[in-house]
Amino acid sequence: MLDEQGTAIRGLVTDVTLGSPELTGWDIARRAREQDPKMPIIYTTAESADRWAAMGVPDSILIQKPYATAQITTAISQLLNTATP
């Protein structure tokens, strides 16, 4: 999907666990950053946030589940407003 959309995608919100051991949210975020090194990335997870430092891409945000709608909205706004075009 990232390859098909190209620059039409301005940011990525992904769960860390996607139900597939072959493809995780960590993997998708790394691929997105390969295409666009400045792409805003937000991870969500119900698991421990301990792995974020080792697995997450730099300058990303992790939001623990359950989260309020305002939390995800604020995170998206923050990343999109600080991203360079």
When pLDDT is cut at 50, 70 and 90, the band that residue 21 belongs to is confident
**d(C-alpha 53, C-alpha 15), whole Å:** 16
When pLDDT is cut at 50, 70 and 90, the band that residue 74 belongs to is very high
Q: Does domain 2-82 have CATH number 1.20.120.160?
A: no
Residue boundaries of the structural domains of the chain: 2-82
- Beta-bridged to residue 12, according to DSSP, are 41
Number of H helices, E strands in the chain: 4, 3
Distances (CA, A) of 30 to 39, 65, 83: 10, 22, 17
What's residue 6's pLDDT?
55
**d(C-alpha 72, C-alpha 77), whole Å:** 8
pLDDT in tens, 22-73: 999 999 999 999 988 999 999 999 988 888 999 999 999 999 999 999 999 9
pLDDT above 70 (res 85): no
33 φ/ψ angles, rounded to the nearest 5 degrees: -70, -25
